[in-house]
Amino acid sequence: MTRTVTLVFAFACIASTARAADPTGPEVLAKMDHALNCFKDAIFEAKLLVKQGDGQAREYGFTTSQKGTKRLVRFNSPGDVKGMGVLVENESTMYVFLPGFQRVRRVGGHAKNQTFMGSDFAADEMAATSFAPSYDATLVGQDEKNWIVELTQKKGLDLEFPKLKIWADKTMFQPTKIENYDNSGKKLKTQERLEYKKDSPEHWQPFHIIMTDHRRGDHKSEIVFTNTKIDSGISDDVFSVRQLVRGN
């Protein structure tokens, strides 16, 4: 009898220790936001593939420069959008440069939920660099490779996607899958981040992102990264409206 009680107590201690080792939702979120931005600056070269009505995909080539919360996206192909740029000063301030008109337009809040270049990525999603400023996190599960957290929008905010469910890799704490929901719990979009490669001593980069919009009949768009450059010393002057107009 004593031996049985001892074994039960031992297993209870082991289970308790395992539970204690699990991170909390806010801890996973903090580590994920750090993993997404663990560099001083970065340059990403990529292709955006947007599925057309005939089943073919239109390809846009672009380069993104990032420093802190600031981003500059510059399109280099195809010809009809070459030179177009998007400057993100922060999540609430964004500018678009249209080379055909030689004009800069500030993007209003109502337009940030619109599709980015006709893709399934929204301009707001392209601007976001972290999740913690907008969401609170709860750990809801795990699988062999990922922590699973549920994010709910902070009080006072009115986001297009008030709920997110994110699978964060247990080793690198980068998102491997993101599901977007409305307030009723209906799944609206799914994002998969694949083919991670280490491009600096600390940073991991997904070289393939697939976005599926379930509101558009599971329409898909993809971003394929071709090169990344971390901590090259980008000047703050790059992230200005003046530089947006001048180009590279």
- Assign residue 195 the CATH number of its domain: 2.50.20.10
Q: What is the pTM of this model?
A: 0.86
225 in a domain, yes or no? yes
15 in a domain, yes or no? no
pLDDT tens-digit map of 137-148: 999 999 999 999
Cα angle 123, 166, 58 (rounded to 5 degrees) comes to 40
Domain that holds residue 184: 23-246
3-state class percentages of the chain: helix first, strand second, coil last, to nearest 5: 20, 45, 35
User: pLDDT above 90 covers what percent of the chain?
Assistant: 70
226 in a domain, yes or no? yes
**Average pLDDT in the chain:** 89
Rounded Cα gap, residues 84 and 63, in angstroms: 11
pLDDT tens-digit map of 147-166: 999 999 999 999 999 999 99
Q: For residue 34, what pLDDT is reported?
A: 97
Mean pLDDT to the nearest integer, 26-50: 97
14 in a domain, yes or no? no
9 in a domain, yes or no? no
Q: For residue 20, what pLDDT is reported?
A: 55
Q: What is the DSSP string of 111-132?
A: GTTSBSTTSSSBHHHHH---ST
pLDDT band per the 50, 70, 90 thresholds, residue 189: very high
What is the total count of domains within the chain?
A: 1
